[in-house]
Every structure is written in C-alpha cells, then in structure tokens.
Amino acid sequence: MDTNALIKIQDIVDRYAFKRKIPLDDWNLYLEHATDCVRELSIHHMNAFRTAKVNSVASGIFDMPKDLIDIISLSIPYNGELWTLTPKGSLDITTMQGYPSAEVDDGLLFYENFLDRELFIRRGGSIGGGPTFSSSYITFDGTDDYASIPINLNGTYTLVMKLNVEDYTNQQYVIDFRNNGGTGYITLDAADIGASSGTRYVDGVATSVVDTLGGHYIVITGMSVISDTMLIGKPYTGAQYYDGGVDYIKIYDYEWSTTEITAGNTADAAIAATDTETLLEPRTTDYGARGGNNLYYFSPNWKQRKIYINGIPTETVILQYVSSGLNLTGDSYVPIQAQSSVERYLNWMRAEIDGLGLTERRDRERLYDKEIEMLRRTHIPSASEFKDILLYLMTQVPIR
C-alpha cells in the first residue's frame, strides 16, 4: 500500500471497491471512470505538470510528449539555472537548419554592464553604501560603496572589464572573489593593476601600469578563481574601497588570445567614442550571459504535435508542461489528497450505472463538487508563492 503522498489510480479503485463491497466483475468499469476523473482533476484542479528532458535535434524539431496538454516553459539548464526560451507564434523554418557556432558558445560565462540598479538587483545583485548607476557606469565613492553578485566559478578564466579610474595611488580592491573561502582578486595600487594570478593587459597592451585617470580597458587572462560571490568595490575583509567607476565586467571560460584582446580594445574604443552600450556585445551571443537578450525561440505546432526550436545547438532542453495526468504506459500516480475526490466521482458514476433516481444522482454530484472545492483549497498559492510566480515570469530580461 502506498503511504507516501502519491497513490496509484488502481489502488484508489481497489480501496473504493473494498469499502463498498463492489464485485471484481465491475472493477475495470470503475477504473475507467477513475481515470476520467483523474484526467479532469489534472487539467482543471490539481495544477499537475510534468517536466521532461528532451534532446533537441539538429533539425530543431521534436515531438511533444503524448500526454502534453499545454506548454509551461521550455528552458536550458545552465550553471544551475533554467534559462527559458521565448515562445513565439511562428518560426521561419528555413533558418533553423544548423546554428552559427560562434554565437552559440562564445565562452562568455558572466556579463554585467551595470546599466540599471533595478536590473542589477533583479539579476541577484546587492549593493551597499550607495554606489550610483549613471551613464551605464556604476560609480563607487571609495568610502563605503560596494556591490556583490552571486557567481559560480571554479577554474581558470579571462576577466574583461572597463574601469573609470578616479584614484590610482591608494590601495583599492576592484574585485574580490575571496568571500566564503574563495580565491582571486583584482586590486588597483600605486599606478598598478594587480591580480591574484594571470597575465594583465591594460588598454590592449601587456602591462599592469595604470597611471592615468579615466577609462581603462583591463583584461586578465589565465586567472584562477574559485568563488560563489563576486564583491565589486571592496575586499572581503578590510576597508580598501575602490574609488571609481566600472562600466562592465565579463568573464570568459577560456584564455583570450592577443588577437582577441586587441580586437576587444578596438571595440571598446569604438564604444567609448559613441558612448553607447549597444555595440559592446551582440545581444544574442549566449543564453548564459546575465542580462543578455534571449533570441532562442520555440514555437509549438499543435496540429502536428511538434515543437520547433530556433537558436540553440543540439543539447538537452527542459520542457515543463501541463500533463493529462495519465501515464500512457505503466502506472499513473495521483496526489493522495485527490483520493476522496476520485471516490466521490466513482460514487456519482455508480449512481448512473445502477440507474438510481435523479435526486440521488444530484446528491452524489454535489458531494463530488464539495470534494473538488476542498481540493482546490490546497492549491491556492500563498503570498510567497505568488512572488515566486512573478519572479519566474521575469526570468527573461528582454531589455538591455
């Protein structure tokens, strides 16, 4: 017997038949009614949804699961998060064959451009002291301002950043990964950009000298980092706060070549000339880029029961969908709280099977409705769940 929160449909019918002395002769008949009931409950009352891992194929088309009734989301697991794809009414199938590999995986793991305080916080960041967000910079006062953002790094990376230096004489921590026992930091001290490890490049040249105020394009390759939090503008302990601005920080999972460093510097100079962010990074580069615009779409074809995906390589995607509630092979499980509803439904159907009078049938229907009402109460979301739902809906950040 099931003692957990799920029960097999057939076990509900067993219990029903046992309690009401129903002969085995009619057991399958009641099972059929029970499955009808469970399907109705799943669709309308129990918020039953399933998660399926689906391998997207090179053609970008895969079949819907047979029990799929409605799609909740389609997403890609990435760094412990689910990056949802944007639903679209239609896709141009002719562009779906093959994927531009450079756009698919450019190694960009992290990208923060400090465009907007609200956006930064929405991405999981927090701030202390009160740094200002203006002209796409975050500016620290060197006294108590800092920012932090969760991150998940363990390896050797390339860090790319644009700083607006306002003081290069005093020791300051620009970035510190050492919170919670991590390793890695970047400092600015005595006209020198310092890093815990790796090779330093300033404005496209292999040097660590920073002896002028204003904008500097910094690249550090081969830097070892282990961290779950990136502190920006302060050390994990001490008071050497950074005095200046940060335009953006990017982290790549591979070591940049000198060609890339030079090209990056040229691109950065172009950006500085136009003073706009839009040229900095193609918006579609990577679904892993924080705040990156997601141009990976999916589109369901209900008539052919297929889902088309555009823009991702062949890999596993997570499909969350409203299920009919019935497994098409093997056993179907039902939340235990629905047992009473199913039994009431069977009792109602039994009145019809046995040809009982209209009054009796209505009475039993009413009892079923009461059970449904009770079942619904268990699924009214709490305030915190509403918050989660809203946050979930904001996973996509279409602006930037």
Partner 1 sequence: MQKNHLRDYIKNHLPKVDKTNKYHPVLIEHAIEKAINGVFTEIALKNPHELDQYTKEYSIALVQDGTSLNYTATLTHPYIPIPDKRNGVRFIEAQGDYAEILFMPMTQKEFYLYPNTNASKVSDRIPYYLDRTKVYFYSPSSAVTTAGVVIHQLIPFTVYSDTDNVVIPDGMDGVVVKMALEHLGIIQPVDLADDNKDRQV
Q: Which are the contacts of 391, defined by CB distance < 8 A and separation ≥ 6?
A: none
Coil, strand, or helix at residue 30?
A: helix
Coil, strand, or helix at residue 144?
A: coil
- What is the C-alpha to C-alpha distance for residues 27 and 253, in angstroms, rounded to an integer? 60
- What is the C-alpha to C-alpha distance for residues 297 and 309, in angstroms, rounded to an integer? 6
Q: If you count them, how many residues does the chain have?
A: 400
Within residues 115-134, the interface with partner 1 by CB under 8 A covers: none
DSSP secondary structure string for all residues of 248-301: EEEEESSPPPHHHHHHHHHHHHHHHHHT-STTTS-TTS-TTSTT-----EEEEE
Compute the least distance from the CB of residue 29 to partner 1, in Å. Answer: 8
Spell out, one character per residue from 331 to 360, where the chain touches partner 1: x when CB under 8 A holds, - when not: xx----------------------------
Q: Is residue 31 within the footprint of partner 1 (CB under 8 A)?
A: yes
Q: Is residue 24 within the footprint of partner 1 (CB under 8 A)?
A: yes
Q: Is residue 326 within the footprint of partner 1 (CB under 8 A)?
A: yes
Comparing CB distances to partner 1, the nearer of 29 and 61 is: 29
Q: Is residue 25 within the footprint of partner 1 (CB under 8 A)?
A: yes
Comparing CB distances to partner 1, the nearer of 40 and 363 is: 40
Contact status, residue 350 vs residue 367, Cβ threshold 8 Å: no
Q: Is residue 9 within the footprint of partner 1 (CB under 8 A)?
A: yes
Number of residues engaging partner 1 in binding (CB under 8 A):
21
The one segment of 7-15, 177-185, 216-224, 391-399 that binds partner 1 by CB under 8 A: 7-15
CB atoms within 10 A of CB 293: 17
Please name which of 284, 262, 131, 270 lies closest in space to residue 202, comparing C-alpha atoms: 262
Given 329, 359, 382, 384, the residue binding partner 1 (CB under 8 A):
329
Report how far apart, in Å, the C-alpha atoms of 296 and of each of 94, 170, 286 are. Answer: 15, 45, 9
Comparing CB distances to partner 1, the nearer of 265 and 332 is: 332
Given 3, 4, 18, 23, the residue binding partner 1 (CB under 8 A):
23
- What is the C-alpha to C-alpha distance for residues 98 and 96, in angstroms, rounded to an integer? 6
Q: Is residue 32 within the footprint of partner 1 (CB under 8 A)?
A: yes
340: tokens are: 């009473």
CB atoms within 10 A of CB 240: 19
Q: Across the chain, which distance is largest between two alpha carbons, in Å? A: 95
Given 80, 89, 330, 398, the residue binding partner 1 (CB under 8 A):
330
The one segment of 3-11, 292-300, 333-341, 383-391 that binds partner 1 by CB under 8 A: 3-11
Comparing CB distances to partner 1, the nearer of 68 and 186 is: 68
Contact status, residue 163 vs residue 244, Cβ threshold 8 Å: yes
Coil, strand, or helix at residue 177?
A: coil
Comparing CB distances to partner 1, the nearer of 9 and 68 is: 9
Comparing CB distances to partner 1, the nearer of 50 and 400 is: 50
Q: Is residue 328 within the footprint of partner 1 (CB under 8 A)?
A: yes
Comparing CB distances to partner 1, the nearer of 37 and 289 is: 37
Q: Is residue 36 within the footprint of partner 1 (CB under 8 A)?
A: yes
Compute the least distance from the CB of residue 350 to partner 1, in Å. Answer: 16
CB atoms within 10 A of CB 352: 13
Compute the least distance from the CB of residue 12 to partner 1, in Å. Answer: 11
Q: Is residue 35 within the footprint of partner 1 (CB under 8 A)?
A: yes
**Which residues sit at the interface with partner 1, rule CB under 8 A?**
8-10, 14, 23-25, 27-28, 31-32, 35-36, 39, 326-332
